[in-house]
Every structure is written in structure tokens, then in C-alpha cells.
Chain A
Amino acid sequence: MSAVRQAREVTAFAPLAVRDLVHCYEGSNVLTGLNLTVLQGSVLGLIGRNGAGKSTLIRAMLGLLQPLSGMASVFGEPALKLSDRTKERLAYVPQQPEALAWLTAQQMLDYVGRFYPRWDQSFATKTLERWQIQPNKLLAKLSPGERQRVDLIRALASQPELLVLDEPAAALDPVARRELLREIALRAGESGTTVLFSTHIVSDLERVASEVAFLHQGKLLMQCTVDETKERYGRLWLPGPIGYAAPTQSLSRRRHDDGSLSLVVERDAQGRWPEAASLPGARVDALGLEDLFVEIAE
């Protein structure tokens, strides 16, 4: 079997995959021809600024919205027409869970649990207790953080093979956030659960993600392992007089008041920086993930 064919098959049955995805709201493009594959067992952190299109991408990947064009699949099935078997294998937590406000936390977990054959009732009960959430309180009366935690319990108790979390830590306090990250790492490490989560908190991403995908203005600027980002990308600084030598390909480009130029550049296949980096006066600085994010997103 050729490597290309093997790669195609991996993509075809990947937990999540999108090809040439385009979507817009009220005439402005949110996703512009986006391609992304989340491989089995990976923990992919989707990072981007507010309004970059992270939630829209996640919702399109799961068939929760109909994109203008392009294709999304979950475990090889079209995302908009998932079978019950596939639905049983995945769990999704939206950014601000608001569903079933008229039920108590216990009722909600009892209701949802009936639909999942591998539902872990003892996990649900114990975690509710551990996270100090009153089971008989209506969901509408819980704080946003508590509500997000109940929804996380709902997602985790179904023992999914694919866990999709849209900014899961947004409403959580630091302790709950740390516990959630530990749980994600545990699931991924022990059960091989594939995880996709969006965030703009870089430290969360560094803590648990094996891969990072950078979404900016509806485009996927990069997708690689977390370690790779430190090795592969750097900030190239060129003084004004040699600005003309700046490479045409760069992830970001900024001209300073003194005429110097800053670019985020990538090593080539042989691991070399662009030629301009070797010019006298030029400098390449290593970038941490947060610096890289800021440089690109600014």
C-alpha cells in the first residue's frame, strides 16, 4: 500500500476531518477553505483570537451547522448525517452550556445517560459530589462555572472515544480548570480518547495538547505538535537597510517605527531558516507558544 493511499485512509476514518470548509455569517467569511484532520488518539488544541472562527469550525466539524461548502466527517461519516453508533462515540461541550435549564443536574444526567450504552453512572455521581454541585438544584440556578462542570460530567460520563470541548475552561476557576486538564490528559493517556479543544489560554494548551492548530481570520495558519512549534518557528528581525531581503513567505510581518522588520518564519524541510536570516545584522529569536500566538494574531 502506498504511503499516499495509507494517508488518505487515515484521513477518511479519522475521528474528525474537514476539507475545503467555507462558511460565512451575514456576508463576511468566517471560514475560508479550511482543511483540518484530527487523528486517532491525539489531543489537538485549537487556538485563535476571539472571533477567529474556532466555535464555528467546531460546530461545522460536528454537523451542528451546515457550511456553505466543503465537507466534514466524524469517524468517516458525513458530519451532517451521523448514525446513532457514531453519536454514541462522541461527546461535545459547547462554550456556554445552556441546555435543559428546566431540569436538575441529577435529572439531566439521568436523562442523557439513558441514551449512552457505556454511561458511567458512578463517575457522574462521584464527580458531582467531588465538584460540590447540588444534584437537586435546577440547572438554570447554577452559576456559569457550575453549569459548565455539569456539562463536562455529562460529556465524560458517556465515555466517548472523541471528546470535543469548546473553550472548556472559560468559566472555570483555576482549581476546576486544573482538574479538567488532568482529566483530559488521563482520558487521552489511558483510554486513547481523541480530544479536540479550543482555547485562547496558551498555558492550558501547553499542559495537555499534543498538537496545536492555529486559526486566524478563518484560516488555519499552522498545525503541528506543540514541541515542534518551538523548534520550527522563530521571529526573524531585519534592520531597515536589509528589509528588502525579507522572505515572501511568512506567518506574520510587522514593520517598526525605526524601519526594521519583524517576521514569523518557518524552517524549511531541511531544517534551515530562510536565507535572509544569515545576512549581517539579521537575528532569529526563539518563540514560546504564547509569543508565537501573539506575533501571528496581532
Chain B
Amino acid sequence: MNLPLALLAPWRFNLAGLRWFALGLVVLEVFGVAGWACFMHTTSWWVGSAAIAGVFEAMLWNSVFSYMVLPAIDAHQLRLPGMQRGLFVGWAFYGVLSLLLPAIGIGLWVGKVAVIAVFVGLFCLAGLLWALLPRYLGMVVYAPFYAAAVHARFVLSLGHSGFLIWALPLALLLLLLAMVRVHRLVVASEPFVSGRHGPPVLRIGRGIGGAFAAGGGRYGSRAIAARPDWMQARASLRGCGPGHPVASLRLALGGSLMPTSVVGWLHRKMAMLAIIFAFCGFMLWQILGRASQGAPTIDRHTSQLLVLSMFGGFVSASMVFNCGIELLQRWRKSSAELPMLALLPGLRSGGFDVKRQLLWAILLPPLRIQLVLMAVLLALATSLHVDTSIKLYVLASQATAIVALVAYTLLITGGQTATAGRWANLGIGLFWGVLLTFPVFVSGLDLHLANPAMTRLTVLFDAGWILLIVILAWLGRRGWHGLQQRPHPFLPS
């Protein structure tokens, strides 16, 4: 593989949708950085611009460049000479580019080229590692970066030396970690069969669901087979049978929908719940610590609510992600659950057709949790007397996750898995982008409610949520039409 081919590799090996997504991210990054620079008339404008660049670069490395590990794995398994080296050259080139452009574009104006380069580099590595490490570890790795971003102003205002003293060794350490991880994934004998330890890049690689065709994925046959007996969540057949289509369908769809005992459920969710609580506890501690140093009460309440809304966002988004992946896995396989369900008698009940029963079976369990979360956050927002725009932001984040769940379910059951796959990366990227960047700006820039910039920022992010909801609703409508036109919902697509 020669140099031009190596440079084209990230674009050639990725799906068309991802290429457009990457372009969109770059455009948003450029406009975001420039807009912030023009918008904020303070001496610390560059902090916000660097944070914007960092977040978009993290998304780019998480969603686009991380997928280069897939052809690298293929190249190793097929023993293709020279290809791996070419891919790594391409990776290195885009890595340097990702650091240089923001460092020059922002750093030169304020004389902090090295600081910006390292700062953005940390974000790039965080994004990459989030894709390469198992999800639970990815979140742990991401947390310190997030905290660093939250404290960006404080840390960066110390000047070059203070920041670089801890950030540079950390960046090198993470680079080493990324290299080791890539190497281990590439040389693994069966990289796609890793169950819950599988990194997101392999779980959603090849256009979401591709890895699952071979029985990979957390609930795929091979992953279940690889798991020891004591780690299996045993199914409960109670309440299944003709006349009970919802429970029966949930058992047949398996995965997170499968009815289990309470112990089985805790067993399955234990690790994820522990990580989510640890992460949110860390964030809460960070922000409350800051708040106790003299921030006004109203701001403290806003900070608390934002942390809780992030927790809610994580839980809701995880459910959308898991549900989407599992459904894609089911609807892509033509010889697994679909033929069995299509020919199983007795799935109609109470005058409702099987399509409606199926939607209830899929949507009810996650929707119940999402709606409870939404109600709790609304109650908190009301009791804490936060600003209406903040309230709207918190509610919109939950509403977006709910609409996303419904939209992806309709798209997949409506036979539009390709559309679902195409939009999934964009949806996930935008969701995390909007959810995570707002608290970064609010906390990192010490914006107060009285500050007109804060109002403008909140309105901007509220508009982001609404735009996302509109896109998802449109996708859901397409899925609904697709489902209505299908003679029965168990046709693979």
C-alpha cells in the first residue's frame, strides 16, 4: 500500500454514511471554533474554541478513524502483505493533522500551540480509546478527560508548564495504551467473539450489526457459548404461551428484553450500573466541590441538575443503543428467531395484531424506565427552581432518547435496517455531542445564569435537541410506514 492509498484508507474502508458524517463533523468543528471565537468577547475565548475542537475531534476519532482497526484485523487474518503498515501510516497522518490544525488555528492566536495540541490530543485519544476498549473501561477512561474539560479554564489558566506537566505524560501513556490495544485486537484469533468485553468498534463496526451476523455480540450465540455458566442470566418461561404474546415475544427476542428473575437481571446489569453510578458520583463530587467554593445557590442547583440529566442521558442512551443493536441482530438473520416467530401460532391476543404486540414487547420495558427517569428529572427541576431553558434542556435530552428508541425500533421492524444503520452513528454522535458539550461549556467557562451568553448557549443547545427530535421523528415515520406495508413483521431485511 503506497502513501496516497494509505491516506485514502480511512475514507475508502468506511461506509459512505460515515464519510458524510466525518465531513459534517469537520464543518461543524470549523464553524463551532470560529463562531465561538467571534461570539465570546473575553480573553479566554480560546478555551471554549479548544473545547469545541476537542469534542469534535474526539467524535471523529471515536466514530470514523477508530474503524480503521477493522481492515487492519482483516489484513492480519488474510495475511495481506503491507496493508497493515499502510493503515498505520494513514492513522499517524490523520493523528498529526488532528493536532496540528487546531493548534495552529487557535494556538497561534494566543501563543499556546503546544497546550492546544496536547489538549486536543487528549480528546482524540479519549475518543479513540472509547471505541477500542470494552464499554465499561471506555467510560472510566473518558471520565478524567471529561473532568479535565469541565475544569479546562482552571487548568489551562495556570499556563503552559502547569498543564503540560501532567497532560503530556498522560497523553503519551494513553497513546501507548491505544497502540497496545490496537495490536491486541489485530492479532487476536477471534476478535469479534468477545461478549461484554468487546469494544464498541467491533460491536457496531461495519455499519452496525455487521459483526453480529457471525454470532458475535453480547447476546449472540458465540458470545453466549463463550460465557461460563455462572455468568449466564437464565430465562424465565413464566407467563409465556398463547394468549400472552408480549411475554412470549420478549423471550423469543432474548437479550435485554428476555424475562429473567430479579437476581438474573441484577446479575446482567451489575457491571454497567456500577460504572454509571461511579461515573456520575465522580462528576457530582467534582461539580459540588466547585460549587461549595462559593458559587451562588442557583448555579449549584443548575450544576446538580445537569449532572443528574447526564446520568439520565447515559441510562436512556444505553438503552437505545442496546435495544437497537439487539434488534438489528435479530432482523438481519434469516435463519434464527424470525422464521420461528413468523410461523409460531398464537401470537395474537385481545384483537391486536402481532405488529402491535411486537412493538409493545420491544418498547414497553425500556420506555417505562425512560419515562420514570424523565418524571424524576422534571420533579427535580421543578423543586430546584432552575431556569426554564435549563428545564427544557433536561427534558429534551430525555425526550430525544425516547424518540430515538421508538424511531430505531420502527425502522428495524419496518425492514429499514440499512437506514437505521446509516443514521445510527449520526444519531449517537449528535446525542453524545449535545449531551456532553453543554455541561463542559457551562462549567468550564464559569457561565452564570445572569450572563446573556449563558441564555444564548442554552437556547442554542435546546434548538439542537429539537432538531435531533425532528430528524428522529422523521425516521420513525419512515419506519412506521415500512412496518404498515409489511404483511408481517418477521421478515428479515
Question: Which residue numbers of A lie inside 8 Å of B, CB to CB?
Answer: 59, 62-66, 78, 80-82, 84-85, 87-88, 90-92, 94-103, 107, 110-112, 114-116, 138-141
Residues of B contacting A110 with CB < 8 Å? 237
Contact with A along B338-356 (1 / 0, CB 8 A): 1110111110100000000
> With A65-B334, A66-B486, A99-B336 in contact, do A112 and B344 touch (Cβ < 8 Å)?
yes
What are 11 A-B interface contacts by the 8 Å CB criterion? A63-B487, A64-B334, A66-B486, A87-B344, A91-B343, A94-B335, A99-B252, A107-B237, A115-B242, A140-B221, A141-B224
A140 and B252: CB pair below 8 A? Answer: no
B235 near A103: Cβ-Cβ < 8 Å: yes
Contact with A along B222-250 (1 / 0, CB 8 A): 10110001001001010011100000100
Taking a contact as CB atoms under 8 Å apart, the answer to whether B254 and A62 are in contact is no
Closest residue of B by beta carbon distance from A91 = B343
Query: Are A98 and B488 in contact, with the CB atoms below 8 A?
Result: no
A62 to B255, CA, bound (A): 27
Q: Is the interface of B mostly helix, strand, loop or mixed?
A: loop
Given that A63-B342, A84-B348 are contacting pairs, would A111 and B335 also be in contact in the complex, using a CB cutoff of 8 Å? no
Q: Are B221 and A66 in contact (CB under 8 A)?
A: no
B424: CB under 8 A from chain A? no
Residue B374 interfacial (CB < 8 Å): no
Q: A98-B335, A141-B225 are in contact. Are A66 and B491 (CB under 8 A)?
A: yes
What is the bound-complex CA distance between A107 and B251, given in angstroms? Answer: 11
- Residue numbers in B under 8 Å from A111 (CB-CB): 237, 240, 248, 251-252
Q: Are B343 and A87 in contact (CB under 8 A)?
A: yes
Q: Using Cβ atoms and an 8 Å threshold, which residues of chain A touch B348? A: 84
Chain B residue numbers with a CB within 8 Å of A99 are 252, 335-337, 339-340
Which of these, B220, B251, B339, B340, contacts A59 with CB under 8 Å? B339
- Complex interface: chain B residues within 8 A of A138 (CB): 224-225, 229, 232
Q: Which of A87, A91, A97, A114 contacts B240 (CB 8 A)?
A: A114
Are B345 and A115 within 8 A (Cβ)?
Answer: yes
Q: Are A98 and B491 neighbours in the complex by a CB distance under 8 Å?
A: no
Question: A115 vs B241: C-alpha distance in the bound complex, in angstroms?
Answer: 6
Contact A90:B335 (CB < 8 A) given known A110-B237, A140-B224: no
A66-B487, A141-B225 known; A84+B346 contact, CB < 8 A: yes
Which single residue of chain A is at the shortest CB-CB distance from B219?
A: A102
* B210 CB-CB contact with A under 8 Å: no
CB < 8 Å neighbour of B258 from A63, A82, A94, A102: A102
- Report the 6 A-B pairs with minimum CB-CB distance, sorted nearest first: A80-B487, A140-B224, A114-B241, A87-B345, A94-B335, A84-B345
**Residues in B whose Cβ lies below 8 Å from that of A90:** 343
From the candidates A92, A95, A97, A102, name the one contacting B343 in the complex (CB within 8 A): A92
Interface residues contributed by chain B, number (CB under 8 Å): 40
Shortest Cβ gap from B340 to chain A (Å): 5
Q: Which residues of B contact A66 (CB under 8 A)?
A: 486-487, 491
B105 within 8 A of A: no
Which residues of B in the span 143-160 have a Cβ within 8 Å of any Cβ on A? none
| Chain A residue at minimal CB-CB distance from B236 | A107
- The closest CB in chain B to the CB of A103 belongs to B235
CB-defined interface of B458-493 with A at 8 Å, one 1/0 digit per residue?
Answer: 000000000000000000000000000011101110
CB-based nearest A residue for B252: A100
Q: Given A64-B491, A81-B488, are A100 and B337 neighbors across the interface (CB < 8 Å)?
A: yes
Q: Contact at A92–B487, with CB atoms within 8 Å? A: no
Neighbouring B residues of A81 by C-beta, 8 Å: 487-488
CA gap between A97 and B339 in the complex, in Å = 10
Residues of B within 8 A of A (CB): 215, 219-222, 224-225, 229, 232, 235, 237, 240-242, 248, 251-252, 254-255, 258, 333-340, 342-346, 348, 486-488, 490-492
Asked if A92 contacts B252 (CB within 8 A), the reply is no
Tell me the bound Cα distance from A266 to B337 in angstroms: 43
Residues of the B chain whose Cβ atoms lie less than 8 Å from the Cβ of A78: 487
Closest to A84 in B: B345
* Chain B residue contacts of A94, Cβ below 8 A: 334-335, 339
**Residue of B229, B248, B333, B336 with most chain A CB atoms under a 10 A cut-off:** B336
A64-B258 contact given A98-B333, A114-B240, A115-B345, CB 8 Å threshold: no
Q: Which residue of A lies closest to B487 (CB)?
A: A80
Q: Which residues of B contact A64 (CB under 8 A)?
A: 334, 338-339, 342-343, 490-492
Interchain nearest-CB distance for A96 vs B (Å): 6
User: How far, in whole Å, are A110 and B492 apart by their CA atoms in the complex?
Assistant: 26
Contact B488 A102 (CB under 8 A): no
Residues of A within 8 A of B338 (CB): 64
Q: Which residues of B contact A112 (CB under 8 A)?
A: 340, 344
Residue of A nearest to B220 (CB): A101
**CB distance A101 to B221 under 8 Å?**
yes
Q: A97-B335, A100-B252, A102-B235 are in contact. Are A115 and B344 (CB under 8 A)?
A: yes
Known: A64-B338, A92-B339. 15 other contacts (CB 8 A): A85-B345, A90-B343, A98-B215, A99-B336, A99-B339, A101-B221, A101-B225, A102-B224, A102-B232, A107-B235, A110-B237, A114-B242, A115-B344, A115-B346, A116-B345
The distance in angstroms between the C-alpha atoms of A285 and B112, with both chains bound, is: 90
CA distance A220 to B360 in the complex (A): 42
Docked CA distance A85–B345 (Å): 7
Minimum CB distance partner of B488 in chain A = A80
CA distance A64 to B478 in the complex (A): 22
Contacts of B254 in A (CB 8 A): 100-102
CA distance A62 to B345 in the complex (A): 14
> Complex formed: what's the CA distance from A206 to B488 in Å?
37
Which residues of chain A have C-beta atoms less than 8 A from B333's C-beta? 98
| A65: nearest chain-B partner, CB-CB | B491
A62 touches which one: B237, B336, B343, B492 (CB < 8 A)? B343
Q: Nearest chain A CB to B330's CB is how many angstroms away? A: 10
A96 contact from B232, B335, B340, Cβ within 8 A: B335
Contacts of B222 in A (CB 8 A): 140
Closest to B490 in A: A64
Do the beta carbons of B491 and A140 come within 8 Å of each other? no
Instruction: Find out whether the CB atom of B343 lies under 8 angstroms from the CB atom of A82.
Output: yes
Which chain A residues border B240 with CB–CB below 8 Å?
111, 114
Question: A110 CA to B229 CA in the complex, in Å?
Answer: 21
In the bound complex, residues from chain B placing their C-beta under 8 Å from that of A140 are: 221-222, 224-225
List of B residues within 8 angstroms of A62 by Cβ: 339, 342-343
Residues in chain A near residue B229, CB distance under 8 A? 138
Q: A138-B224, A138-B232 known; A98 and B336 CB under 8 Å?
A: yes
